[in-house]
Amino acid sequence: MHADIIGGGLAGCEAAYALARQGIRVTIWEMRPDKQTPVHQGGDLAELVCSNSLKSEHSDTAQGLLKAEMTILGSLLLPCAQATRVPAGSALAVDRSRFSRMVTEQIEAHPLITVRREEITTIPQAPCIICTGPLTSAPLAKALQEISGAENLYFYDAVAPTVTRVSLDESIVYKASRYGKGSADYYNCPMTREEYLCFYEQLVAADALEPHAADREMVFEGCMPIEFIAQRGVDTLRFGPMRPVGLSPVEGGPRPYAVVQLRQEDKEGQLWGLVGFQTRLRWGEQDRVLRLIPGLKNAEFVRYGVMHRNTYINSPRCLSPDLQFTTRPGLFIAGQLTGVEGYMESAASGLWAGLCLARWMQGKKPLELPETTMLGALIKHISSAANAKFQPMNANFGLLPALPGKIKDKKQRNLAYMTRSLKHMHEFSELLQNTL
């Protein structure tokens, strides 16, 4: 048995290793070093293109929990990261080049894995996993567009910040429709004139990120950063995304001068995105300025806004929960291409795609991860999100189904999530080994 993996990045290496551990021969096709992306610099596999941090290791954080689950499933990358770590407090940060070198050596030394340095420009025959990442080369992106439909492949992220519903101040925010049309589906954060002006001044003065090399050519296509809109004049936001049109005042209260609306992002209604608030502000600045919005003072931001070059497919429309293309049996997609966001999320999705493809090749029935695990919740989100415009997602506790009882203390709540997730991941790992 043999499978092809296209892209030797974080997802590709985990996928190849997972397949090889099942006794399946694998060829990884990687276009570097002959052809580079705008941000990769070397020829090693699993190159970290920007930060050297793989984020927290504490399993009472979403990132730490994801790592603990990956360890249970047999990750290749995590032991390499631990062996090449550099001091970074509670974060798992690595010496970038030693990390990639070590992953490359382990992959190249594996008797069942071959690495071919070649760009792939068409969709290969099954069985195959495509994981060419946010900077997938143009010919392959075009081929992906052809099989998924032009409207189902995106070339940039314009993500607005997301908060959890439990962290909203419900004595201030209230449900209503958008512009007075349809049902009361939006949470509204109403602002007085004074609150609006204070927010506006802080927004225009806040520090934004310089675009990365890969982002300079990015076209906003009518999706402008909120701080850009604000720079055009004090009232532009009030006549744009913060327009209070059709919004009745709360009983007895003043008519809102401006409003920030929140739209539901997941089926369970735990995650809410700030409508029209795509931004390039630095995360610390987002955290500071957005808390000035009435009702968001104590908000839990599970994701900050980002705007950058990316390539990802509309996974809820195109993929099943085993990351298999619904219209192409044996073709799997992994990594950032699926709409997961971040180094570890990409690696974890590669690990999952590798395990699923192995089962498919062995004629075993597909399994679904428990949605109570961080990886299961993430995969469920990307393969079934209800949002009209699917947006990439990182690991966060807001994705997990609510716990049976309400736990007010955040740390205790996260610990309870962690205990449940790890128990279910251990059970799942046994099931994975024992089922046909």
Ligand X SMILES: Cc1cc2nc3c(=O)[nH]c(=O)nc-3n(C[C@H](O)[C@H](O)[C@H](O)COP(=O)(O)OP(=O)(O)OC[C@H]3O[C@@H](n4cnc5c(N)ncnc54)[C@H](O)[C@@H]3O)c2cc1C
Alpha helices, DSSP H only, in 111-249? 138-148, 193-205, 226-231
Residue 98 or 424: which CB sits closer to ligand X? 98
∠384-369-51 over CA atoms, to 5°? 80
Least distance from ligand X to the Cβ atom of residue 46, Å: 7
Least distance from ligand X to the Cβ atom of residue 356, Å: 16
**Interface pick for ligand X out of 59, 162, 261, 336 (rule CB under 6 A):** 336
| Helix, strand, or coil (residue 138) | helix
Contact 383, 321 (CB under 8 A): yes
Least distance from ligand X to the Cβ atom of residue 255, Å: 43
Decide: is 261 part of the binding site for ligand X (CB under 6 A): no
- Cα–Cα nearest to 266, from 382, 128, 142: 382
Nearest residue relative to ligand X (C-beta): 9
What is the DSSP annotation of 93-120?
EE-HHHHHHHHHHHHHH-TTEEEEE---
**Interface pick for ligand X out of 59, 63, 100, 136 (rule CB under 6 A):** 136
Sequence-separated (6 or more) residues with CB below 8 Å from residue 345: 66, 378, 393, 394, 395
Which residue has 């740390």 as its token pair?
411
Residue 64 or 256: which CB sits closer to ligand X? 64
Decide: is 276 part of the binding site for ligand X (CB under 6 A): no
Residues 58-87 that bind ligand X (CB under 6 A): none
Which residue has 């930060």 as its token pair?
51
Decide: is 104 part of the binding site for ligand X (CB under 6 A): no
Q: Which tokens hold the place of 76?
A: 């290749």
Decide: is 204 part of the binding site for ligand X (CB under 6 A): no
Decide: is 103 part of the binding site for ligand X (CB under 6 A): no
Contact 260, 290 (CB under 8 A): no
Looking at this protein, which amino acid is placed at residue 2?
Answer: H
**Interface pick for ligand X out of 12, 294, 305, 376 (rule CB under 6 A):** 12
**Interface pick for ligand X out of 137, 188, 278, 373 (rule CB under 6 A):** 137
Decide: is 119 part of the binding site for ligand X (CB under 6 A): yes
- Cα–Cα nearest to 30, from 156, 142, 114, 155: 114
Taking CB under 6 A as the rule, which mask of x and - marks residues 345-384 in contact with ligand X?
-x--------------------------------------
Residues near ligand X (CB under 6 A): 6-12, 29-32, 37, 39-40, 49-51, 119-120, 131-137, 140, 212, 214, 309, 335-337, 342-343, 346
